[in-house]
Structure 1
Amino acid sequence: MIFKVMYQESKEQVPTREMTQSLYLEARDRVEAIDKVTKNTPYNIQYVQELDEAHLAYEKEQEDFKLVEF
């Protein structure tokens, strides 16, 4: 499954919508996706969303789509 993770770059940073970034990664489930990001980055995770086929197709059309591998 592919997950979209929305995050802030620093855990000390106050979350603001304008500063939220996203990355895409493959994981078995939401828990594994969170675990991968937590262990490999200093990011403050805001939201993790599993992408269904239609949403994934839409995201792939965007210029910033790239699967992250840790």
Structure 2
Amino acid sequence: MIFKVLYQEESKEVPVRERTTSTYVEAETERQVRSKLADRNLNIEYVQALDEDHLEYEKKSEDFKVENI
């Protein structure tokens, strides 16, 4: 399953929409996603499991790239 992760670059940074970044991670559960990203010192705002339709929409973006962790 592919998850979309919305985060701030610094773990102590206050979430501000204009500075929110996203990445895509393949994992079985949200817990696995958070575990895979734990060493990056990110302030994870939201982890969203992408259903098939949403994934197809995201793939159309030039920024779409699934991280291989």
Q: Same fold (TM over 0.5)?
A: yes
Equivalent AA in structure 2 for residue 52 of structure 1 = D
* Residue 47 of structure 1 pairs with residue 46 of structure 2: yes
Would you say how many aligned residue pairs link Structure 1 and Structure 2? 69
Equivalent AA in structure 1 for residue 7 of structure 2 = Y
- State TM-score, norm by structure 2: 0.95
* Cα RMSD, aligned residues only: 0.8
Q: Say which SS state the counterpart of residue 14 (structure 1) adopts.
A: coil
Where do 5+ consecutive residues of structure 2 fail to align?
none
1:5 aligns with 5
Give runs of aligned pairs for residues 1-70 of structure 1, distance below 5 A.
Answer: 1-39=1-39, 41-70=40-69
Q: Say which SS state the counterpart of residue 58 (structure 1) adopts.
A: helix
Moved segments of 4+, more than 6 Å = none
